[in-house]
Structures are given as structure tokens and as C-alpha cells.
């Protein structure tokens, strides 16, 4: 998970699998895995979103943990699966699924207590706090705490040579929002420009985030505008410079 990683950043998915396998975990990636249903749900197609949610729950039924490279997908499932499955035949299944579902940095820090020993990445990196994640994500390890800000920072701070810089308005929307960027392009573009400008203002060479769809959106803007900041998934940083 998520499907955008599978479709557009397969290298990042393989890096995550190799990292987890290096930590003595047995990894499973179902070849028939599809979308979690987030975009369908946001567009009002609750029935199709429910069907995809059921498929996901069933595919990971026997797994001890479910690790996702997209915090926005986990946040969506935590917020919306109750609306889709409460008092249905999937009531117990969806609750058990969410109890074992983690975003990658959350899993590495709070379950595996991972430290990026020996990893080198000698660049200035800005971390964007994904807005939906900050509002809706709740770690199974810390169910009383909303958001996901501490964990990715701990990972990055453990990378040798990496300078973590804090930019202004790091938790403000980047302008993506799924279909929002298509339906309200002028607004989305202004938000995206501001995010890139804020990263450049603190001298960031790279911009990272726990949500890959936002990174794709920001990188597309940077490429089009010729802006110097590059977007990189956290897992790509954790493997270090090759």
C-alpha cells in the first residue's frame, strides 16, 4: 500500500520491502491489491468504496501487521471505515484491521524501534506535515494522539549528514487533495507554489512527506516551474545515498 506507490513509485515500494526484510520481517504484497477506496469515497461513491475496503480487509486478514507508505490512506480508513462497516458483517473485521494498520514511519519507530544507523544523506531536507494525516491519523501504538509529526522527524534526524529544516506553514495543504487539484486548479496551483516557495526559503534541497500522492503533485509542479526543490519519499532517504 498505497496503490499510487505501486503504480508510480515501485522502486520506493521495493526499498521498503528490503528494509523490512532486513529487519527479519516476512513481507507479503498481494498481487491483486487495489485502491483502498479513498478517492471513490471522497467523490461520493460509497458503495464502490465499501467493496474495495472489504477486499483490502480480507486480503490482509492473516497478517500480523499492515504497513502503508501513504499516511493519507491510513487516515482515510481510520476515519471512514466506521461509516462504511459499523454494524455490518465486517464490523469486527474492520476494527481488527485498523488495530494492525500503520504508516511506515509510525511502524518503524513505535513497533520496531528502528534507528537509521549507518545511513548517510548529506542534504538539507524539509518535512511537510500532511494536512489530512495531522487531522485524522491515530497510531495504533498511541491511539490517544492525533497526527504523525514526531515519528518521521525521528527517522530523519537519525540519518547521518541530513539537516532537517522546518519551513513555514508545513502543515498547510499543498493543493493536491485528489480530484481537488483537477476541479479547482487555480487554487491548487497557488497552494502548491506557496509550499515550494516555503521549502526554498529555508534552503531545502529536498522536500519529503508521509503521503506520496502529495509528493507526486509537488514534484510535478516543481518540474513544470523549474523550481530547484526535489521531492523524495522518506524510504528513499532511509536507504541513503547509493
State pTM to two decimals: 0.93
| Residues 154 and 213 reside in one and the same domain | yes
CB of 190 within 8 A of CB of 175?
yes
Which residues, in sequence order, are CB contacts of 217 under 8 Å at separation 6+?
Answer: 174, 175, 176, 181, 192
| Residues 65 and 130 reside in one and the same domain | no
Alpha helices for 60-175 (secondary structure H): 71-85, 91-99, 104-110, 131-136, 150-157
Query: Which of the residue ranges 7-16, 91-100, 174-183 has the most confident prediction, judged by mean pLDDT?
Result: 91-100
Q: How high is the pLDDT of residue 107? A: 97
Q: What is the mean pLDDT of residues 137-143?
A: 91
Range of the domain at 21: 3-109
Half-sphere exposure of 109 (CA within 13 A, CB side): 20
Q: Is 120 helix (H, G, I), strand (E, B) or coil?
A: strand
CB of 216 within 8 A of CB of 140?
no
Residue 242 binned pLDDT confidence (cut-offs 50, 70, 90): low
State which of 54, 86, 109 marks the end of a domain. Answer: 109
Q: Is 149 helix (H, G, I), strand (E, B) or coil?
A: coil
Q: What's the structural domain count of the chain?
A: 2
Q: How high is the pLDDT of residue 150? A: 94
- The Cα–Cα gap between 175 and 48 comes to 25
- The Cα–Cα gap between 20 and 91 comes to 30
Q: Give tens-digit pLDDT for 106-132.
A: 999 999 999 988 899 999 999 999 999
Tell me: pLDDT of 156 over 60.
Answer: yes
Alpha helices for 137-239 (secondary structure H): 150-157, 180-183, 185-201, 212-225, 234-238
Q: How high is the pLDDT of residue 91? A: 95
Q: Give tens-digit pLDDT for 45-74.
A: 999 999 999 999 999 999 999 999 999 999
Tell me: pLDDT of 151 over 80.
Answer: yes
Q: Give tens-digit pLDDT for 183-235.
A: 888 998 999 999 999 999 999 999 999 999 999 999 999 998 888 799 999 99
Q: What is the mean pLDDT of residues 166-192?
A: 88
The three cell numbers locating residue 71: 499516511
State which of 109, 140, 165 marks the end of a domain. Answer: 109
Q: Is 230 helix (H, G, I), strand (E, B) or coil?
A: strand
Check which CATH number belongs to the domain holding 141 and give it: 3.40.50.11810
| Residues 45 and 94 reside in one and the same domain | yes
| Residues 120 and 210 reside in one and the same domain | yes
Which residues, in sequence order, are CB contacts of 164 under 8 Å at separation 6+?
Answer: 125, 126, 127, 153, 156, 157
**114 φ, ψ (degrees, to nearest 5):** -75, 145
Rounded to the nearest angstrom, the gap between the alpha carbon of residue 165 and the centroid of all alpha carbons in its chain is: 19
Q: Which of 119, 132, 6 is nearest to 68 (CA)?
A: 6
Q: How high is the pLDDT of residue 241? A: 66
| Residues 73 and 145 reside in one and the same domain | no
Q: Give tens-digit pLDDT for 70-91.
A: 999 999 999 999 999 999 999 9
Q: What is the mean pLDDT of residues 154-159?
A: 95
Rounded to the nearest angstrom, the gap between the alpha carbon of residue 161 and the centroid of all alpha carbons in its chain is: 24
Q: How high is the pLDDT of residue 5? A: 78
Q: How high is the pLDDT of residue 206? A: 96
Amino acid at each position: 500500500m498505497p496503490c499510487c506507490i505501486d503504480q508510480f513509485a515501485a522502486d520506493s515500494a521495493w526499498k521498503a520491502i528490503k528494509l523490512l526484510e532486513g529487519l527479519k520481517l516476512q513481507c507479503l504484497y498481494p498481487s491483486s491489491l487495489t485502491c483502498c477506496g479513498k478517492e471513490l469515497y471522497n467523490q461520493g461513491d460509497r458503495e464502490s468504496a465499501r467493496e474495495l475496503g472489504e477486499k483490502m480487509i480480507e486480503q490482509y486478514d492473516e497478517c500480523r501487521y499492515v504497513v502503508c507508505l501513504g499516511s493519507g490512506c491510513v487516515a482515510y480508513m481510520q476515519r471512514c471505515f466506521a461509516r462504511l462497516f459499523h454494524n455490518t458483517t465486517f464490523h469486527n473485521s474492520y476494527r481488527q484491521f485498523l488495530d494492525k494498520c500503520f504508516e511506515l514511519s509510525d511502524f518503524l519507530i513505535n513497533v520496531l524501534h528502528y534507528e537509521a544507523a549507518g545511513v548517510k544523506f548529506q542534504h538539507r531536507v524539509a518535512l511537510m506535515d500532511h494536512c489530512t494525516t495531522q487531522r485524522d491519523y491515530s497510531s495504533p501504538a498511541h491511539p490517544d494522539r492525533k497526527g504523525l509529526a514526531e515519528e518521521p522527524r525521528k527517522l530523519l534526524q537519525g540519518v547521518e549528514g541530513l539537516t532537517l529544516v522546518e519551513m513555514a506553514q508545513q502543515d498547510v495543504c499543498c493543493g493536491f487533495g485528489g480530484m481537488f487539484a483537477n476541479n479547482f486548479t487555480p487554487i491548487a496551483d497557488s497552494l502548491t507554489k506557496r509550499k515550494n516557495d516555503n521549502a526554498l526559503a529555508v534552503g531545502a534541497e529536498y522536500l519529503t512527506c508521509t503521503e506520496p500522492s502529495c509528493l507526486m503533485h509537488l514534484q510535478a509542479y516543481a518540474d513544470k516551474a523549474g523550481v530547484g526543490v526535489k521531492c523524495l519519499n522518506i524510504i528513499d532517504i532511509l536507504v541513503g545515498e547509493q
